[in-house]
Amino acid sequence: MPEPVGFYTDTTVCIGCKACEVACHQWNALPARNGGQVPLSGQSYDNTTRFSDVDWRHVRFIEQFPEDRNGGRWLMMSDVCKHCVNAPCLEVCPTGSIVRTEFDTVYIQEPVCNGCRDCIAACPFGVIHISAEKHIAQKCTFCYDRLQVGLPPACAQACPTRSIQFGPIDELKQRAAERVAQLQAQGQTDAYLYGADDSILGGLNSFYLLLDRPEVYGLPSAVQARLPSRSVWPASLKAIGASLAVALGAFLSFGRRRDAVKATEGHTRSP
Amino acid sequence: MDLPHADAILIMGSNMAECHPVGFRFVVEARLRGAKVIHVDPRFTRTSALADLYAPLRAGSDIVFLGGLIRYILENERYFREYLVAYTNAATLITDEYVDAEQGAGLFSGFDPEARRYDPRSWRYDAEPREPEAEPIEPSLADPASFSQASLNRTGPPRTDPTLQDPQCVFQILRRHYARYTPETVERVCGTPRDVFLKVAETLCDASGPDRTAALCYAVGWTQHTTGVQIIRAATIVQLLLGNIGRPGGGILALRGHASIQGSTDVPTLYNLLPGYLNTPSVHKNHDSLRDYLLSEITPTGYWSRMPAFVVSLLKAWFGEAATAENDYGFGWLPRITGDHSHLPMFVAMMEGTIKGFLAMGQNPAVGGQNAGYQRRALAKLDWLVVRDLYETETASFWKDSPEVRSGELRPEQIPTEVFLMPAAATAEMDGTYTNTQRLIQWHERAADPPGDARSDLWFTFHLMRRLKTMYAESRLERDRPIQALTWDYLDPHENAGWKVADEPSARLVLKEMNGYLTATGQPLSGFGELKADGSTACGVWIYSGIYAPTPEEPGGHNHAANRHNGPTWNALDWGFSWPANRRILYNRASADPAGNPWPKEARLAAEHGDGTARGYVYWDAAARRWVGLDVPDFPSDKPPDAAAKPDGIGLDFHDGSSPFIMKADGKGWLFVPTGLVDGPLPTHYEPYESPVVNSLYPERQSNPVAKVWNVPGNPYAAVGSAEYPCVLSTYRLTEHHLSGSMSRWLPWLAALQPELFVEISPEHAAELGAANLDWLEVATPRAAIRARALVTRRIRPFVIDGRTIHHVGMPWHWGYKGVVTGDVVNDLAALVGDPNVTIHEAKVFVCRVERVAGSSVARR
């Protein structure tokens, strides 16, 4: 049995290069949103802006500058699926599509997914999205295919500054604790770990070293991130019903989607 | 790779985290080990975000900031005295004919206002005149040393004052020159708060000395100025004063503009250099024969005295058996330069009709060129244009869709240029090398066949010349002899077995020629020490010699650039090959004290991170009577530290045993440059050619008096302090794109990350303009006006200079009119104006006007 693995993301050494986003797209053969023609967001250097069915990694940019600019900082963080120990998506999945792998990661088995979207509602991190092409739930696979042949995930391998570290989860936690202690000793007293203990959903297999409140990074606090309290059986029934409705809806919307695609193609390339 | 051992890293003139993200890992590693990282820049960038200390400065005021550091080090006695006295020219006396710019209202002695040129003779060392030889020596290649002996009279041993008290010594000249560069001056001219500047100075000094070293990183943020070379010179002075050159964790790291730019200056692709930093013959010098060339180019003292062997071996590599002692080894076949033929003047000549044809290989001047509109109009004057690239770039398509064509100014049917677009292979589709910033040459192997008709640059160049040789084979004209004589045999069909392109030339054979070989047998040489001036050796790039040296396993030559072993220490001598001689730190004799013992820092590093036996980085082993250590010593291996200089000696005999800078005539690190620069022996502050403010240090001397300026139609400049163009503009690059975008804007994954051109402005500036984030702004210079979306951010700050607020704006220049994402060409705004030493353009600072485009808030797409 392989050891449980995870990601430790040290945001203090992230340079916002987005190599992780590109590596993720490349390895997983994910297309660029709208063929690469997306609007300028105006939100710092973040033009990805959120997770999507084709954006499983997302680098956030947070500009914190007081009016006089003294002590200003530009925080960057590469975000991804947390591969929670108690994963709400896995709990609510009615078809058993979402499973825990032998590496302790959370994985969507595509052929089993019926596109019901319950997992989307259950995820407190906004990680999961329905693929516009495949009509099933999509998120970070933790490069399950790479793990199976002994390779690190593509994002961690591409990260030039080792902001994204991959390894056995216990080892990562120890390394992260040492880094926090180092930062604290250097006077960086706001450094702390998010998701390394079991307070959030029993622990996050992708945990972070942060310098500000979780909300600043678009992460829920421990209070907000809670496992769905419903008992599993009625929830599943409900989910099956919902998934049927969604499937029907998706079927009916095929025609509309084709029209929408045509309308998009009608737009000329931006000048 | 050496950066993790720095105790502090000053990054200035570089956005290293964004533009060199992979190299920046070593900065991060240093920081994790406790090094202080300092970033000095007009903008708060992704590099600033990871720095311990960020200091803002107004673009173009770098020499004031660095001059302030120099003054701080001198006046607070923070210099490394033992290093300074022994290893630099601090103690050297300068002739009393020299007049400093501080006395000359911004001009050094020797200025000719008519010609706008300096005669540098008054900057020379004060030396005893030599006794003229009774009988002048007639140099001959039979005795290569005779060239040095014949020109020895040019450099007598200079007078020195090791107490550093003599008013004519470099140390005292430096003190006087930088006396006005106080923290107050820095604050007033650079806009850097005084306390922040002092914090930078203290941090840097605290991390330097016998037991610490600090490194300095720069990039095109320093070079792209009309004072670019002098800014780097100022950094050299800082590092020499602090004793940070030639030592681990020290140095000045020139982060190059993109991959293998270092290689293209070594080999090179520059008009004024032959391979290995030998000057191209010029009609303006006495270069009529090989003898005249060697006599006028040789530096008789120092390692360059071996130049005859390098030149003759190069000619043997190029012209083979056709190169003989009788015909000057074909020296007469080399083309002569008639002036400055670099990029900017080349396009002026194109516009003026002198240049009729142009090959653009891996270059996109229609977007990347300065005053790009001028350059596109110049392309439209050509008879023919060949573009080799991965995509149809803006340079290839200018004739049908450039802004000039769209506006109706140019009409395709009236453009005479015949354009040939040739598909190019990408790096992974060819064998070859990258030479990185730290002179590390790494081999890469072909991993896939190129698609369709795409071919490597090597293939194109090889087969183009092969066809030319066929065409000229029967010619009897003397001018066609070099084409006939050129050796051109790089095919090794075995290497192409199993690959699509059967006639791909062998990059390995090119590398072997660069390495050098015995002309009689073809046996590869072990290094440039074996080069001869008698035609018995050939060598394509003398500084690369050793890269294909034989090993016991491969007596016919081993590709050392392909080595991939980390080895026991951080400098990883078995990873790739670092020129010269696989040496990782240049001038590393300076990592030991004058007596040859390791400085304390080197002793500590060797103990903690060494191979278990070395006592220092490079040091004198008194028992073995050799220089030894973790690196390849950059010094004659058996010359003891107490060796005396020979005043009449040539080559390294002229230096004593504690002169580490073996390429310099006097063996010293040059704080003061007596010869070699065209704009002064010391860096001094001039405003950029276009500036919103008057030069407050020299009101009569606004900008570099010898800057390269082109007063030609289509290239107007803004007047100093122009009310029409009140803002400062810097152009720059983003991590997400590559240069003119020709390797990134066509890739949807990268295009999506930075999809649109923007202009970064401060909230204060935006408020003045009445503009909101994402509004369309027009940015105008005397050359052009373009549109971009506003990105309003406090990372940009207004600078208060002499009580006046100067708005600074920044624009990345990756967009053009082709590709997945498009946008206006930012380089249309820039001017043709250049540094006088190297003609690099001034893209990091010029002036502009910014206006909100009316109704732009609703113009969102």
Task: Give residue-wise pLDDT tens across range A97-148.
Answer: 999 999 999 999 999 999 999 999 999 999 999 998 899 999 999 999 999 9
Strand B214-218 vs strand B8-12: parallel, antiparallel, or unpaired? parallel
Could you tell me the two tokens for A109? Answer: 């088995």
* Chain B contact present for A21, CB below 8 A: yes
Strand A58-64 vs strand A73-79: parallel, antiparallel, or unpaired? antiparallel
The amino acid present at B180, given as its one-letter code, is R
Chain A residues whose beta carbon lies within 8 Å of the beta carbon of residue B755 = 36-40, 47
CATH class for the region spanning A5-261: alpha beta
Tell me the C-alpha distance between B708 and B718, whole Å. Answer: 16
Q: Classify B834 as helix, strand or coil.
A: strand
Q: What's the pLDDT score for residue A265?
A: 37
Q: What's the pLDDT score for residue B857?
A: 54
- In angstroms, the separation between the Cα of residue B49 and the nearest Cα of chain A is 5
- In angstroms, the separation between the Cα of residue B754 and the nearest Cα of chain A is 7
Q: Which helix H or strand E contains A64, and what residues bound it?
A: strand A58-64
Domains of chain B: 3-92+169-258 (3.40.228.10), 588-654 (no CATH), 708-859 (2.40.40.20)
pLDDT tens, A180-239?
A: 999 999 999 999 999 999 999 999 999 999 999 999 999 999 877 777 654 444 444 554
The interface predicted TM-score (ipTM) is 0.94
Q: What's the pLDDT score for residue B218?
A: 98
In Å, what is the CA distance from A7 to each residue of A21, A52, B641?
15, 20, 53
**Closest CA in chain B for residue A160:** B22
pLDDT tens, A42-92?
A: 999 999 999 999 999 999 999 999 999 999 999 999 999 999 999 999 999
Q: Sign of dihedral through CA atoms B680, B681, B687, B690?
A: positive
* Chain A contact present for B735, CB below 8 A: yes
With CB atoms and an 8 Å threshold, state whether B48 touches A74.
Answer: yes
**Closest CA in chain A for residue B18:** A17
Contacts for B413 with CB less than 8 Å, ≥ 6 apart: none
In Å, what is the CA distance from B460 to each residue of B361, B422, B455, B500?
10, 9, 7, 15
DSSP per-residue codes, B738-770: -TTTTTTTT-HHHHHHS-S-EEEE-HHHHHHHT
Give B140's strand partners.
B143
Residue B441, phi then psi, degrees to nearest 5 = -100, 120
CA atoms within 13 A on the CB side of B320: 13
Give A107's strand partners.
A99
CA atoms within 13 A on the CB side of B626: 7
DSSP per-residue codes, A194-235: ESSSSTTTT-BSEEEEESS-GGGGT---TTT-----S-HHHH
Contacts for B452 with CB less than 8 Å, ≥ 6 apart: B423
- In angstroms, the separation between the Cα of residue A238 and the nearest Cα of chain B is 38
DSSP per-residue codes, B613-625: S-SSSEEEETTTT
Chain B residues whose beta carbon lies within 8 Å of the beta carbon of residue A76 = 46, 49
Tell me the C-alpha distance between B284 and B130, whole Å. Answer: 28
Under-70 pLDDT residues of chain B = 153-155, 856-861
Place of tokens 């990074």: A217
Closest CA to B535 of B41, B229, B830, B142: B142
DSSP per-residue codes, A147-196: HHTTPPPHHHHH-TTS-EEEEEHHHHHHHHHHHHHHHHHTT-TT-EEESS
* Chain A contact present for B22, CB below 8 A: yes
Contacts for B224 with CB less than 8 Å, ≥ 6 apart: B840, B841, B842, B843, B844
Interface A:B, Cβ pairs < 8 A: 123
Strands of the sheet with B418-423, listed across from one edge: B357-361, B384-389, B418-423
Displacement of CA B696 from its chain's centroid (Å): 29
* Chain B contact present for A180, CB below 8 A: no
Q: Classify B11 as helix, strand or coil.
A: strand
Mean pLDDT of chain B: 96
Q: Dihedral through CA B509, CA B515, CA B520, CA B523, nearest 10? A: -80
- In angstroms, the separation between the Cα of residue A116 and the nearest Cα of chain B is 29
Polymer length in residues for chain B = 861
Q: What's the pLDDT score for residue A262?
A: 39
Burial of B89-122, coded b for 16+ CB within 10 Å and e otherwise, reads bbbbbbbeebebbbebebbbbbbeeeeeebebeb
Span A3-19, average pLDDT: 97
- In angstroms, the separation between the Cα of residue A253 and the nearest Cα of chain B is 26
Displacement of CA B15 from its chain's centroid (Å): 16
Closest CA to A138 of A152, A124, A127: A127
Q: What's the pLDDT score for residue B859?
A: 42
Q: What's the pLDDT score for residue B177?
A: 98
Q: What's the pLDDT score for residue A252?
A: 42
Max Cα separation, chain B?
86
Mutate to test the interface with B, among A41, A161, A165, A180 (most CBs of B within 10 A): A161
**Closest CA in chain B for residue A60:** B753
Mutate to test the interface with A, among B753, B792, B796 (most CBs of A within 10 A): B753
With CB atoms and an 8 Å threshold, state whether B791 touches A18.
Answer: no
Q: What is the CA radius of gyration of chain B?
A: 27
Contacts for A145 with CB less than 8 Å, ≥ 6 apart: none
Task: Look up the pTM and report it.
Answer: 0.95
